[in-house]
Each structure stands twice: as structure tokens, then as C-alpha cells.
Amino acid sequence: MTEQMIKNETESVNSGFSRRSFMAGSAGAVLAFTLESSMPGSVAQAAGAATKIGGNLTINADNTVTVAFGGAEMGQGIMTGLAQCVAEELMVDWTQVRTESAPWTQSYITGGSFGVRANFLAMRTAGAQARDMLIAAAATSMGVAPSSCSASAGVISNTVNSQTRTYASVAAAAALLTAPASPALTPKANWRIIGTRANRTDIRGKVDGSAIFGLDVQVPGMVYAAVRHSPAIGGTLAATPKLPTGATHVINLGNAVAVVAANSWIPLDYCAIGISSTSSTWRDGIKWTAPAGAAAMTSAAILTTANTLMASGTPGTPLPENIGTASATYTAAPKKFEGTYQVPFLPHVMMEVPNCTVSLSANSAEVWVPTQAAGWVAATVSSLTGIPAANVTVHITLLGGGFGRKIEQDFVAEAVKVAKVVGKPVKLFWPRDEDFSHDQYRPFGLIRVRLGMNASGTPTSFQARNVSVSPLFQRGWIGATGNDNVDGLVGTPYNIPNKLVEFVRHPSTIPVGFWRSVGESMNCFAVESAIDEAALVAGQDPVAFRRALLAGKTRELAVLNAAASMIGWDAGAPTGHAYGIALATGFGSLACLAVEVSQPAAGSLTIHRACMAVDPGMAVNPTQVEAQMQGGIIQGLTSSLWGKTTFTNGKASTSNFNNVRLMKMSEAPAIQVQIIESGAEFLGGIGEVAVPPVAPALANAYARLNGTRVRTLPFF
Amino acid sequence: MTINVNGVARTVDVDPATPLLWVLRDVLGLTGTKYGCGIEICNACNVWIDGSAEKSCHLLIKDVLTVKIVTVEGLATNGVLSKIQQAFIDEQTPQCGYCQSGVLMRAAKLVSGNAKPTDAQIDSAIANLCACGTYPRIRAAIKRATGQAAVK
């Protein structure tokens, strides 16, 4: 899905709050008021009763409120951020707020860093609607006018008599009222919860062991399944293997074999590589039919094709960006820079492997799954079983990491297929080595950047050609235009009068997908490295060079100057150390990262400090903005230094943490984050924007340290 | 076979060669202990064996019949969180949270035996892999739990 697709979907979801639109909408609405509860007030006031006042808002008997949300909580804090928006308007204290997952009919794709920014107004409106309905019900109960009432901490009082009503006591009556179309929203100056460091609602369970991730789901009568795919991507099972000892089923899934047993260990032991030796005879005896065109799925051949396409490929049309006369300006420029950058296929590396639990009945299904796209899960189940999607219940569990991988349906489809064969609830999961060897990788690509400069070194033209594998094309969603793959090339913030961006699709069939920050994860490396390299050609300081190109761009200048100031750019790095800087714009936010590095020995690199200035417009929860910056920087360092998957005849080089390296505690730099809130009520996303500037900041620092320019990732 | 988990004797009917991790998760329903790699690298599966943080993915059940096993579910006492757990909340340490049980087992072990762990000791003790990059907040939580100034 493209950012635009997610945005369109979210906007259509949130465009109206009428009961009609909610009931009719397949994608569902956030906290739309269905007013489905018709529970009589007397019953609601009975001990232990809870009233569902809206489709996604429950007033509990103890006067706490439970906010259901339709997104995926994978550590980015969306569940908390959205609940803060509701609580703000609902006039409850943060300690009264609980959260839960909404049905898939009210879910949306969690991606593109849209979770909070796209639902910000909708969630506030929903909270305000509920508040006004509760006040109206309380006013009737107290025999006063609503205008004499106010609410605080879930208690409604009035200025006429001394009576008060708790939300719980009037919730049932409120649920029968019509939701006001345009409730008053609290002005920013009066916010109590939005913008505060509210504690996350999901943390307690994550420290006491009670949090339920997909892999933790247990259903009565459940059996367990693990899978082993063709080592070469696209290969198929030549014959169904014999039943492994201890297993109840061995199932031919075409491109994979599934083993089913009464516990996780038996199927895992048989399907995983390197976990024990007991299963190797069985596993190694599986015969696979090699995929057609396997030789083309080899990294050297993929690079050769990319080089050819870079030199002589035909860009897709319409061109993603074409302003002025970039090509002619470059040709005539007295100073110029050209560099070609290479980025690898990259695994997502979630700590929780793909998994899905499915329970099928004759005409209904129940699914428990860590997914970023619950609606797609319902569609997957429906298409494989014939069960109407309306009869599919999807429980969105917590996600043990997602980073874009858990939007995919491959593991969901396998769970459904196995459940059909077994006839019992099944929890299917992938061994770790299946995850790293059968990911839908961040695309491999080459990005060539050309910058033309005048005699004084001021850039006059910017050209970028991206040759990469397209997730959108592989899914049949677009033709040759580039789309996500050119994010970060189109609309660069620099004031350069002539700009040309081209995309040439690489035809590789290595499966690619959406990796945290998507196109920006490739292109920011190229653009921000090239800016530093052009500054060198121009004989200018990289920060000063950027400042000159950002004249009048106050938001960009603010983050650039803040990051430079934090690292101490003007004072210069200590002896033997170097600073590097890079600016990312995307997801409605700006992030400028400065790093300090040294190289104690050849083949090593120490990152001492990372200073991030981020402008998300407005920070709904500063703690979570900081956490996303810290986490994004560390993930960016991991991928820049070590992240890649290469292929030989379709077989991936990555399998487990013995050949996929994650940054460790001892290697992580000190991280400083400065939040700059430039927006009145404008919001950018914060889940992804920290990642793109890391690779170029590191490469720029490395070049300044020892004169060696890294144009191919990863570093090591 | 009987094992002692979080101070309670639990009888389990499984193949003696089953790793402790899967007995805890599938048989006893103690799903706080996580499967991450299965090859003793990531530390998501850490539990205490007689007070020492160990990887449960490769401990066979038949080899832990005479030891005291503590899982993340056993860190709290009668629902009251231990000091290190509370510090993880106060510092808002977990993101996705999947690796945090294993992190907590090692962090709890560290602070139980070291009143003021240094940065180097924290680096050495917390060998866990975290894909979300919560390391700065793990460090801050350990410092908070041991009364040391937070590093921000």
C-alpha cells in the first residue's frame, strides 16, 4: 500500500460519524458511535455492568473507560496516543483510561506513520461526542439544563443544585441519545492529556509477563504447526514427506511443508535449522523442485541487471518529478557531482516470528494474529474458506515488532490452509530461520544522484534515478511509475531550481515489501550522502551548504541548526573523531541527525553520540516521540552497519541471529533527542522518520573521519 | 516429572527431551518467556535457574527437575512489582515488549547482586537483543532501580 492509499482509506474511514456511514463502511470507523447499546439504565447501574456507549468506547461500572482502537500496537505507542486524544475530550483522568483492540471492521492498516496523525481529530471528536451525550443524560437525571453542567474526572456536576452523576451511572441513558454532529473540541491551551508524558497503557503487561502477543495465544483444543519453505524462493515441494515422529500431520502447502503436533516443540524441531540435530534427517530428506529462473535470483546477477538499467533503462512515466531543465543544466554546469549508491535487500528482523492462530467453523472463523492489516486478514480467511468476511472475527494481538512485515498475509494464509486440513484450532508459526530466509525484504536498489553547481558551488540542478525492485508492482498495484520507491527523492526540501527524478523498475522476483520508512530508507541515504559529497566539491562545510539551500525553510533550518548545535558542529569533533549530519523529511515530520564516530581499528566503527532534532509538528506524547527516535536510530545503525540479505539461486543468506547482527546494548551510542514543535495543531508521524537519516549521517561522518566514502550499504 | 516454577511444584507429562521454554509456554501457560532464536543467542527466553539467568530454549526439562526455576511471572510478589519492574514502567522502557521478559530476568539478576552497577557492568549483563532499540531506557531503568542518576 502506498502512503496515499493508507491516507485515502483513513480519511474515508473518518470522513463522517453518522451511524449510516459506520454501519455501511467496510473499512470501519474510529470510535464511530453506533449507539448499539440499548441496555436499560437500571440494568447499567447494577454492580459489574459496563455500558458500551459507542462502537469503540465502553464506560465501565467502576467509572473507568475502555477505548478500543483499530490499529496495531507494535511498540510505537499508538494505542496510548489515540486514547490520550479520546480522554482529553471525554474529561476523564488518564488513570481512568484502559485500552483494547477493536473488531477488524473498525480497523485500519497501520503503516505510513499515519496511526495518530490521521486519527487525531476523529478520536478527539469521538471523545467529545461521548462527553456531550453523557452530560445530556446526566442533566436529565439531575433535572437541570445541560448548559449548567460540566464534567471532570468522569463526574458530572451542575451549577443549579448540589447533585452529581458519575459517567457509569448515566452511561446507559447516554448511549440511547443521538451523537452531536459537531461537539466543541477543547482548545489547545486547555489540554490536560494531549501533549503530556502519559504512561503507556500496554507497559504493565510487558513487564509482568501477562501481555499477549500472537505467539502467546492459547485456544482450547488447539494444536501447533510450524512450516518449512523451499530453501530457494519460489521452489515447490516435490513430494509430501513422511510424517515426522510425534507429529499428527504433515501437510503439503505447495511452496512449503507444515508439520502439526500437540505442542510447539515437535514441529519447530523438525522445521528449524540449527535448533537441534534430531530433525535433520527428516528435514534434509525433503525434496524440492527448484523454481524457474532460479539463477536470476542471485545477487551478482541482480546487481548486473541494475547496473544495465541504471545506464540504459527507460524510466517509467509519468516522471515522478520534473521541474525545469535539470539535465541540460547539469550538462552545462561548471561544477558537478555524480554518485551512485547501493542499498541491499533488508530483512525486517522482528523479535516475534510470523504467526497466526485460526479456528474454523462451518460458516464462521476466529483468528488471533499480530497484524498491521486486520481487514486484509478477514479477506484472506474469506477467500480461502468461502466464509463471508462479516463472519470472520479477527483479534489483533500485540505485535512483537512489525516494521512493515506484519502487514503481509503469507503466514495468515498458511494458518488457514492448515486449519482446514486439521479440523481443529491451529497456531501456526515460523521458525526463526524461516523468517529471515523468507521475508518480504526492503528492496535492493541503486540510486544515482547528479548535482550541477554554478561557479561558486551553489547547486542549480538535482537529478536522481532510482533502479529498484517495486513492492507495489509485485502486488500488481502499479505500473512503472515508482511510487513508494521514490519517496525521499521527490520533493526534496532544498531550493534547487531544476529537479528531475526517474524510476526504472528492476524486474527481480525476490519478494519485497514495506520496511520501516519504505522508500525513504533507500533514498535518504543517496540524497543526503550526495549533498555532503557535493559540498566537498563546492569546498563548503556540509551544514553551511545545507543552510544556504534551505533559505526560507524555517522548519528544516530549525532541525538542522538544532542537531548541529547539539553535536557541537561549529566547535568541531575531538581529535580522532568526526561528525556527520543528515536531514530527513517524510511522514509529515522532519528529522535531522548528527552523529559522532571514531574508528579504533580497521573494520570497526564506534558511534559515540547521536543527536536528533525532530519536528513532528506537535508531540501528542513527548516520551513516545523520544522513544521512537531512540529506537529508530538504533535500528538505522543496525541496518546501516550490518543489514543485508543476499541470494544464491533464490536461497537467502540470512537465517538466524548467527548471521543477522543486531546492535547490542554495549554498542549503542548515547542518544540525545530535541523535539521542536512547529505546528499549531499540525501533526506528523513519528514511527519511521528517525530511520532514514541514520545511514547518510553515518556515511558522512565516516567520510570526514578517514576520507573514505561509503556508497554501498551495509558498511560491514 | 515435576519441576519447581516460581516456588510451585508443577507436574508435567512431556517428552523428557523437551526444552524448558516450550514446557513453560505450551504446558504451563507461562507465556511471558519468549521464543526468539532457538539457538541461544537472543536471550528472549531467559529464566532463572537457581538464581542464575539461563536460556530456556536449550535447557531440557529432564535436566531441570531439581532446580528452582523463576520466570518473569515470578518477579512480582503477590501482584506487587519488583523494583526493577517498576523502574521499567517509570522509564517507559518497553516498546513492542517482546524481548523485555528476557531483559528483565537479566536486569533483575544484575540489580539483586550489585547495588550500583556501572555502565560497563550493565553493558555486560544485558546481552539481550532488542530490535526496537530500547537500550537507552533499559539503562535508565537499571540506574533508577539502583538509585543512580538517570542518564538522559
* pLDDT value at residue A14: 37
Q: What is the mean pLDDT of residues A298-319?
A: 97
Burial of A210 (0-12, 13-18, 19+ CB in 10 A): middle
Q: Which residues of B touch A75 (CB under 8 A)?
A: 94-97, 132
| Alpha-carbon gap, residue A690 to A79, rounded angstroms | 20
Answer yes or no: is pLDDT of A35 > 50. no
* pLDDT value at residue A680: 65
CB count within 10 Å of CB A496 equals 21
In a domain, A713, yes or no: no
* pLDDT value at residue A105: 85
User: Cβ of A632 and B133 within 8 Å?
Assistant: yes
- What average pLDDT does the structure give for chain A? 91
In this structure, the answer to whether residues A305 and A396 fall within a common structural domain is: no
The residue of chain B with its CA nearest to that of A349 is: B131
| Alpha-carbon gap, residue B14 to A8, rounded angstroms | 52
Nearest-Cα distance to chain A for B66, in Å, is 22
Note down the domain range covering B39. Answer: 2-72
| Alpha-carbon gap, residue A576 to B73, rounded angstroms | 47
* pLDDT value at residue B150: 62
Percent of chain A having pLDDT more than 90?
83
CA distances from A9 to A69, A89, A115, A159, A377 (A): 16, 25, 12, 44, 16
Residue A190 pLDDT grade (very low, low, confident, very high; cuts 50, 70, 90)? very high
* Residue of B26, B95, B144 to mutate for A, most A C-beta atoms under 10 A: B95
Q: A406: which 3 cell numbers? A: 506484519
In this structure, the answer to whether residues A549 and A680 fall within a common structural domain is: yes
In this structure, the answer to whether residues A63 and A164 fall within a common structural domain is: yes
Q: Which residues of B touch A200 (CB under 8 A)?
A: 92
Nearest-Cα distance to chain A for B55, in Å, is 13
Contact criterion met (CB below 8 Å) for A241 and A285: yes
* pLDDT value at residue A412: 98
In this structure, the answer to whether residues A503 and A620 fall within a common structural domain is: yes
Answer yes or no: is pLDDT of A119 > 90. no
In this structure, the answer to whether residues A317 and A408 fall within a common structural domain is: no
In this structure, the answer to whether residues A361 and A388 fall within a common structural domain is: yes
Note down the domain range covering A258. Answer: 214-290+354-429
In a domain, A561, yes or no: yes
In a domain, B77, yes or no: no
A610-661 pLDDT tens trace: 999 999 999 999 999 999 999 999 999 999 999 999 999 999 999 999 999 9
CATH number of domain containing A259: 3.30.365.10
CATH number of domain containing B62: 3.10.20.30
A601-612 pLDDT tens trace: 988 899 999 999
Long-range contacts of A533-539 (CB under 8 A, 24+ apart): A533/A337, A533/A339, A533/A703, A533/A709, A534/A337, A534/A451, A534/A453, A534/A459, A537/A335, A537/A336, A537/A337, A537/A453, A537/A457, A538/A335, A538/A453, A538/A456, A538/A457, A538/A458, A539/A457
Closest partner CB to A207 (pick from B31, B88, B130): B88
Q: B111: which 3 cell numbers? A: 540489580
Most confident of A109-113, A124-128, A181-185, A251-255: A251-255
| Alpha-carbon gap, residue A57 to A98, rounded angstroms | 10
At which of B19, B45, B72 does a domain end? B72
Q: What is the DSSP string of A663-688?
A: --GGGPPEEEEEE----SS-----SS
Question: Is the bond leading into A714 cis (omega within 30 degrees of zero)?
Answer: yes
In this structure, the answer to whether residues B93 and B38 fall within a common structural domain is: no
In a domain, A540, yes or no: yes
In this structure, the answer to whether residues A390 and A360 fall within a common structural domain is: yes
User: Cβ of A401 and B132 within 8 Å?
Assistant: yes
Per DSSP bridges, beta strands B46-49 and B8-11 are: unpaired
* pLDDT value at residue A276: 81
* Residue of A95, A351, A675 to mutate for B, most B C-beta atoms under 10 A: A351
| Alpha-carbon gap, residue A260 to A526, rounded angstroms | 46
User: Cβ of A627 and B34 within 8 Å?
Assistant: no
User: Cβ of B36 and A432 within 8 Å?
Assistant: yes
User: Cβ of B98 and A351 within 8 Å?
Assistant: yes
User: Cβ of B22 and A265 within 8 Å?
Assistant: yes
Residue A402 pLDDT grade (very low, low, confident, very high; cuts 50, 70, 90)? very high
Q: Which residues of B touch A77 (CB under 8 A)?
A: 95
The residue of chain A with its CA nearest to that of B121 is: A666
User: Cβ of B34 and A351 within 8 Å?
Assistant: yes
* pLDDT value at residue A448: 98
Sign of torsion, CA A412 A414 A420 A424? negative
In this structure, the answer to whether residues B23 and B47 fall within a common structural domain is: yes
Residue A422 pLDDT grade (very low, low, confident, very high; cuts 50, 70, 90)? very high
**What is the per-residue burial (b if ≥16 Cβ within 10 Å, else e) of A676-713?**
bebbeeebbbbbbbbbbbbbbbbbbbbbbbeeebbbeb
A342-394 pLDDT tens trace: 999 999 999 999 999 999 999 999 999 999 999 999 999 999 999 999 999 99
User: Cβ of A665 and B126 within 8 Å?
Assistant: yes
Answer yes or no: is pLDDT of A133 > 50. yes
Q: What is the mean pLDDT of residues B40-64?
A: 97
In this structure, the answer to whether residues B12 and B34 fall within a common structural domain is: yes
In this structure, the answer to whether residues B101 and B52 fall within a common structural domain is: no
In a domain, B78, yes or no: no
User: Cβ of B32 and A208 within 8 Å?
Assistant: yes
User: Cβ of B130 and A275 within 8 Å?
Assistant: no
In this structure, the answer to whether residues A193 and A225 fall within a common structural domain is: no
Question: To which H or E segment does residue A566 belong?
Answer: helix A554-567
The domain total for chain B is 2
A102-116, A221-235, A303-317, A402-416: the lowest-pLDDT one: A102-116
Q: What is the mean pLDDT of residues A28-44?
A: 28
Percent of chain A having pLDDT more than 70?
92
* pLDDT value at residue A481: 74
A514-549 pLDDT tens trace: 999 999 999 999 999 999 999 999 999 999 999 999
* pLDDT value at residue A49: 55
Q: Which residues of A touch B33 (CB under 8 A)?
A: 209
In this structure, the answer to whether residues A195 and A238 fall within a common structural domain is: no
Nearest-Cα distance to chain B for A517, in Å, is 14
Give Cα A551 distance to the centre of its chain: 32
Answer yes or no: is pLDDT of A192 > 70. yes
Q: Which residues of A touch B107 (CB under 8 A)?
A: none
In a domain, B152, yes or no: no
User: Cβ of B38 and A656 within 8 Å?
Assistant: yes
In a domain, B48, yes or no: yes
In a domain, B108, yes or no: yes
* pLDDT value at residue A714: 98
Q: What is the mean pLDDT of residues A666-675?
A: 97
Q: Which residues of A touch B22 (CB under 8 A)?
A: 263-265, 268
Closest partner CB to A400 (pick from B93, B98, B129): B98
Answer yes or no: is pLDDT of A23 > 80. no
In this structure, the answer to whether residues B12 and B36 fall within a common structural domain is: yes
A49-80 pLDDT tens trace: 566 655 578 999 999 999 988 889 999 999 99
In a domain, A681, yes or no: yes
- What average pLDDT does the structure give for chain B? 96
At which of A181, A204, A227 does a domain end? A204
Q: Which residues of B touch A201 (CB under 8 A)?
A: none
The domain total for chain A is 3
Q: How many Cβ pairs within 8 Å bridge chains A and B?
A: 190
Q: What is the mean pLDDT of residues A440-452?
A: 98
Phi, psi dihedral angles at B27 (to 5 degrees):
-95, -45
User: Cβ of B133 and A663 within 8 Å?
Assistant: yes
Q: Alpha helices, DSSP H only, in A74-160?
A: 78-90, 120-142
CATH number of domain containing B116: 1.10.150.120
Burial of A646 (0-12, 13-18, 19+ CB in 10 A): middle
At which of A159, A177, A204 does a domain end? A204
In this structure, the answer to whether residues A244 and A134 fall within a common structural domain is: no
Q: What is the mean pLDDT of residues B76-91?
A: 97
At which of B50, B72, B94 does a domain end? B72
Q: What is the mean pLDDT of residues B111-139?
A: 97
At which of A204, A232, A262 does a domain end? A204
* pLDDT value at residue A278: 77
